[in-house]
Chain A
């Protein structure tokens, strides 16, 4: 057991201070230490993207980030998207367009979708598919996920999209 390192991470707007082993993965800090289990682990090798979160505003795979690398950073997880009980437009779009079945890849897909729209407010189908190459879904065949993200893009036009 190696020496523990103190870190301060703001997660969904709340400050969390803890001491972690330097090898501790950010996803385990979020799930096991802070209790935010919406971020999932699917593959351990950064292929599936179920663990996608936003670190200082950028989508990252939290199974491949050390908790100590998030020291001083702001993290947004899927639990942090809804505001005042209102679903984020991306969450609403996934529901409306049947963009999920088992729901396991969904938090990562939603976080990847929100990240894409920050960079490209009106993505083509090809843009969406390219942006999702790091997120695997076994249930939906991606069809309705692509539709949901494009729909969220249109819903978000002119509206402020949080996170």
Chain B
């Protein structure tokens, strides 16, 4: 058998190189294949009729007007589709010993609506414009009920209930503690309390969600813009009453996710149900307004934080009570997302006593769930903001304060009071490296000069640690915190007869660059060029069950699985090579891209030659070597991994308008050894921008009646190119002992690091005005109001404001409480 163009085998050393991406050529030529780009023969278009009411009883649905449209094929309600829609959207968290009040959540409303945008009916037809017209003709009559929007008011006596049957708006309470936080707070020399609001945001990928249901025989295919095709099949089999082997889920090119597509949505079941009912493919693509209304939101937590420390700034206690607005219904992980931050409570600081309480609340809004970071940005934001608040309180420089509290390099693996083991870290090292880029003394001189000219420049630090590598199944599964799921990852590495390779991963990328990075990992282990390693994903018919892409897990779990499967192939290749060269398998080594006999580099085979021998043996191979060259790995990590780093943000605040401008960003991140540094930098740039967006611009706003105010990109402000600077990035590399690659993950790091750095920088800038703390988003209006209030007080020291529901919302700082009076502030 001849091979016309044998694959090049340049050999090992691909890992670590910033090679450009394999996935780019089609995308830059307009040849991507996103779901909405697909047109199947006979395909119908679906438009969903949604509730304009936040809380109401449906009294009638009149479909006649819509059904009269000549191009409309069907108008269907929840009642009409009761047979096809066999089960509700599941919520998969069942924490041992905790009851979570869980309402049934159906793809189409059944008798009542609980939030604006809830799906009530679906109109299907041949022309997408005409279907949109027809949807307007579906007449739904509602009897309005009182809506509750504010989560704290929802917990007060006399509040209307979202769910009358529960007789409460509290969904659940979950707590975890280690040490004695209450006792340590009683004994603390300094106590700082703040009410820190982490407001509701949207994932807002630029590609809206889109799904096509395609019936085939007694089964169906779902093409969907999802981060989790395999989980989707598993969940949809229950929702549709179909066996998994009858459902294929394909995630083709996916235009960003940011958590918003880490979900199984009602519409995915709906297109399959309607397609099966009508026997034709059905496509639904959300409008941007639908995305803002009914793709899950993130964050929306109010944290009552109490920190105890001694006068030298050493933190002794950390206590947080979180009020978490979960919306009216649950999506698959809704009540768990706030708690997902608990492993990094207390951040990168050695705090001996920690206590966390989470209270979930129903409101008449859409569900919250995972958005980039998912629970960890909230924990990190509050701990990093509180570090600067404490620094002001005790009059210690924020850099020095952090150093006094860091977990030392020698303490790893470090077990937190909550029983979480941080795998590895060097927090002083990343801060040191940051300060090589940022001359703090020079900055302070410049800041002082600028202040004399009326320019308010500030610097904010964030020294974060996050938790990735989701997840060791024993820790988070049924026997751990209670998710009814596991989080190992699968990979198949298949070397073809002519010596190129295909890798299938159970992760499901949507911009991260797995096609390139995973090819580099496999190439090094196979003695191939990444150009000859094709990485496939996102099709339940192509590879084994996998758990998808989220939580910065793909490299540390999925990439590790690829590496392990490739090593299995390498081991077999060595045995084949040894048989062919009449050597012992243990004497075969992979070097310079060749399998060679140790000490005799002239006796060698390339992977191309070995692949040929594996499939079409030119001589008899030992009987214990099966034909073919393909291996599978199912890898369940032993522990989480904990990336970390140090970021600095410099802002200028216009005191006349309240506008904040980010003028400099320096990021030092440590995600272990780099597979492809170019991809890491790209993730950091985008992640930081996401965090800047939350800190300064983005906010999902509902009015008091539960109407969504921010229903489009006109009202929901994503950062543009003019709102961010060029980013200065650097790295330290501290390997994780958890996996063979030593890698950690970086997809969410920037987002997790960024928001407190911005808030700390603005606070630093406005210190001369006596503004001690502000909650996000730091919009010009909020900052301007804070400045005006401060000037009304005559400037000077921080204001004393009573602890209450508005503290921290409107600019002036919440006062310290406990044994000490509020600090003098300002002095660094």
A1, A28, A36, A135 — most chain B CB neighbours (10 Å): A1
Q: Does B817 contact A (CB under 8 A)?
A: no
Known contacts A38-B32, A40-B207, A94-B28; is-contact A141 B688 (Cβ 8 Å): yes
Closest to A110 in B: B28
Q: How far is the CA of A153 from the CA of B20 in the complex (A)?
A: 20
Known contacts A104-B255, A125-B726, A141-B689; is-contact A37 B37 (Cβ 8 Å): yes
Contact assessment for B288 and A142 in the assembled complex, using a CB-CB cutoff below 8 Å = no
Chain A neighbourhood of B28, CB < 8 A: 78, 87, 91, 94-95, 100, 103, 106, 110
B 24-40 contacts with A by CB, 8 A: 24-25, 27-32, 34, 36-37, 39
Q: How far is the CA of A40 from the CA of B208 in the complex (A)?
A: 10
Contact assessment for A1 and B130 in the assembled complex, using a CB-CB cutoff below 8 Å = yes
Contact assessment for A146 and B130 in the assembled complex, using a CB-CB cutoff below 8 Å = no
Q: Does A128 contact B (CB under 8 A)?
A: yes
Shortest CB distance B607–A (Å): 27
Shortest CB distance A93–B (Å): 9
Q: Does B459 contact A (CB under 8 A)?
A: no
Contact assessment for B511 and A139 in the assembled complex, using a CB-CB cutoff below 8 Å = yes
Please tell me which stretch of B47-55, B426-434, B443-451, B714-722 contacts chain A, meaning at least 4 of its Cβ atoms lie within 8 angstroms of it: B714-722
Q: How far is the CA of A122 from the CA of B688 in the complex (A)?
A: 28
B 43-80 contacts with A by CB, 8 A: 70-71
Closest to B512 in A: A101
Chain B neighbourhood of A40, CB < 8 A: 34, 36, 206-207, 255
Which one of B130, B288, B511, B685 contacts A141 once the chains associate, using CB atoms below 8 Å? Answer: B685
Which one of A42, A79, A102, A110 contacts B208 once the chains associate, using CB atoms below 8 Å? Answer: A42
Contact assessment for A139 and B30 in the assembled complex, using a CB-CB cutoff below 8 Å = no
Q: Does B299 contact A (CB under 8 A)?
A: no
Contact assessment for B288 and A43 in the assembled complex, using a CB-CB cutoff below 8 Å = yes
Known contacts A77-B30, A101-B513; is-contact A141 B724 (Cβ 8 Å): yes
Q: How far is the CA of A132 from the CA of B130 in the complex (A)?
A: 34
Interface residues on A, range: 35 or more
Q: Does A48 contact B (CB under 8 A)?
A: yes
Chain B neighbourhood of A60, CB < 8 A: none
Residues of B in contact (CB 8 Å), total 59
Chain A neighbourhood of B96, CB < 8 A: none
B1-33, CB under 8 A of A: which get 1 and which 0? 000000000000000000011011101111110
Q: Does A19 contact B (CB under 8 A)?
A: no
Contact assessment for A144 and B713 in the assembled complex, using a CB-CB cutoff below 8 Å = no
Contact assessment for A138 and B34 in the assembled complex, using a CB-CB cutoff below 8 Å = no
Q: How far is the CA of A48 from the CA of B130 in the complex (A)?
A: 25
Chain A neighbourhood of B373, CB < 8 A: none
Which one of A1, A87, A140 contacts B29 once the chains associate, using CB atoms below 8 Å? Answer: A87
Known contacts A87-B29, A140-B682; is-contact A102 B20 (Cβ 8 Å): no
Shortest CB distance A28–B (Å): 8
Contact assessment for A104 and B206 in the assembled complex, using a CB-CB cutoff below 8 Å = yes
Contact assessment for A103 and B713 in the assembled complex, using a CB-CB cutoff below 8 Å = no
A50, A78, A142 — most chain B CB neighbours (10 Å): A142
Q: Does B686 contact A (CB under 8 A)?
A: yes
Chain B neighbourhood of A36, CB < 8 A: 30
Contact assessment for A138 and B686 in the assembled complex, using a CB-CB cutoff below 8 Å = yes
Chain A neighbourhood of B207, CB < 8 A: 40, 42, 102, 104
Q: Does A136 contact B (CB under 8 A)?
A: yes
A 100-117 contacts with B by CB, 8 A: 100-107, 110
Contact assessment for A24 and B24 in the assembled complex, using a CB-CB cutoff below 8 Å = no
A 122-150 contacts with B by CB, 8 A: 125, 128-130, 132-133, 135-146
Contact assessment for B206 and A138 in the assembled complex, using a CB-CB cutoff below 8 Å = yes
Chain A neighbourhood of B206, CB < 8 A: 40, 42-43, 48, 50, 102, 104-105, 136-138
Contact assessment for A102 and B721 in the assembled complex, using a CB-CB cutoff below 8 Å = no
Chain B neighbourhood of A62, CB < 8 A: none
A 50-96 contacts with B by CB, 8 A: 50, 77-79, 81-82, 87, 91, 94-96
Known contacts A44-B712, A45-B713, A142-B689; is-contact A129 B37 (Cβ 8 Å): no
Q: Does B253 contact A (CB under 8 A)?
A: yes
Q: How far is the CA of A128 from the CA of B724 in the complex (A)?
A: 12
A28, A41, A103 — most chain B CB neighbours (10 Å): A103
B28, B34, B253 — most chain A CB neighbours (10 Å): B28
Contact assessment for A102 and B678 in the assembled complex, using a CB-CB cutoff below 8 Å = no
Contact assessment for A23 and B688 in the assembled complex, using a CB-CB cutoff below 8 Å = no
Q: Does B102 contact A (CB under 8 A)?
A: no
A5-27, CB under 8 A of B: which get 1 and which 0? 00000000000000001011000
Q: Does B195 contact A (CB under 8 A)?
A: no
Chain A neighbourhood of B36, CB < 8 A: 37, 40-41
Shortest CB distance B574–A (Å): 35
Q: Does B456 contact A (CB under 8 A)?
A: no
Chain A, interface SS category: loop
Chain A neighbourhood of B712, CB < 8 A: 43-45, 47
Q: Does B142 contact A (CB under 8 A)?
A: no
Contact assessment for B511 and A101 in the assembled complex, using a CB-CB cutoff below 8 Å = yes
Which one of A102, A129, A144, A146 contacts B255 once the chains associate, using CB atoms below 8 Å? Answer: A102
Q: Does A31 contact B (CB under 8 A)?
A: yes
Known contacts A38-B31, A107-B30; is-contact A138 B727 (Cβ 8 Å): no
Chain B neighbourhood of A82, CB < 8 A: 29
Q: Does B690 contact A (CB under 8 A)?
A: yes
Contact assessment for A45 and B255 in the assembled complex, using a CB-CB cutoff below 8 Å = no
Q: Does B740 contact A (CB under 8 A)?
A: no
Chain B neighbourhood of A79, CB < 8 A: 29-31
Closest to B725 in A: A143
Q: Does A98 contact B (CB under 8 A)?
A: yes
Closest to A108 in B: B206
Q: How far is the CA of A133 from the CA of B25 in the complex (A)?
A: 25
Q: How far is the CA of A125 from the CA of B726 in the complex (A)?
A: 9
Q: Does B287 contact A (CB under 8 A)?
A: yes
Chain B neighbourhood of A105, CB < 8 A: 206, 255
Which one of B24, B258, B721, B726 contacts A94 once the chains associate, using CB atoms below 8 Å? Answer: B24
Shortest CB distance B674–A (Å): 14
Contact assessment for A95 and B727 in the assembled complex, using a CB-CB cutoff below 8 Å = no
Shortest CB distance B336–A (Å): 24
Chain B neighbourhood of A32, CB < 8 A: 39, 128
B787-825, CB under 8 A of A: which get 1 and which 0? 000000000000000000000000000000000000000
Contact assessment for B288 and A98 in the assembled complex, using a CB-CB cutoff below 8 Å = no
Closest to B688 in A: A141
Chain B neighbourhood of A77, CB < 8 A: 30
B 296-333 contacts with A by CB, 8 A: none
Closest to A103 in B: B27
Contact assessment for A146 and B721 in the assembled complex, using a CB-CB cutoff below 8 Å = yes
Q: How far is the CA of A132 from the CA of B274 in the complex (A)?
A: 41
Shortest CB distance A107–B (Å): 5
Q: Does B148 contact A (CB under 8 A)?
A: no
Shortest CB distance B550–A (Å): 14
Closest to A78 in B: B30
Contact assessment for A146 and B726 in the assembled complex, using a CB-CB cutoff below 8 Å = yes
Q: Does B254 contact A (CB under 8 A)?
A: yes
B29, B30, B256, B713 — most chain A CB neighbours (10 Å): B30
Chain B neighbourhood of A132, CB < 8 A: 720-722
B683-711, CB under 8 A of A: which get 1 and which 0? 01111111000000000000000000000
The 3 A-B pairs at the shortest CB distance, nearest first, are namely: A38-B30, A104-B255, A102-B511
A–B complex contacts, Cβ < 8 Å, 28 sampled = A24-B129, A32-B39, A36-B30, A37-B37, A40-B34, A41-B208, A42-B288, A43-B206, A44-B712, A78-B28, A101-B682, A104-B205, A104-B206, A104-B207, A104-B255, A135-B720, A136-B713, A139-B256, A139-B682, A140-B685, A141-B687, A141-B724, A141-B727, A141-B750, A142-B721, A143-B681, A143-B685, A144-B681
7 other A-B residue contacts (CB within 8 Å) besides A41-B36, A104-B34, A138-B206? A37-B37, A43-B713, A101-B511, A102-B253, A105-B255, A139-B256, A140-B686
Q: Which residues of B contact A (CB under 8 A)?
A: 20-21, 23-25, 27-32, 34, 36-37, 39, 70-71, 128-130, 204-208, 253-256, 258, 287-289, 510-513, 678-679, 681-682, 684-690, 712-714, 718, 720-722, 724, 726-727, 750
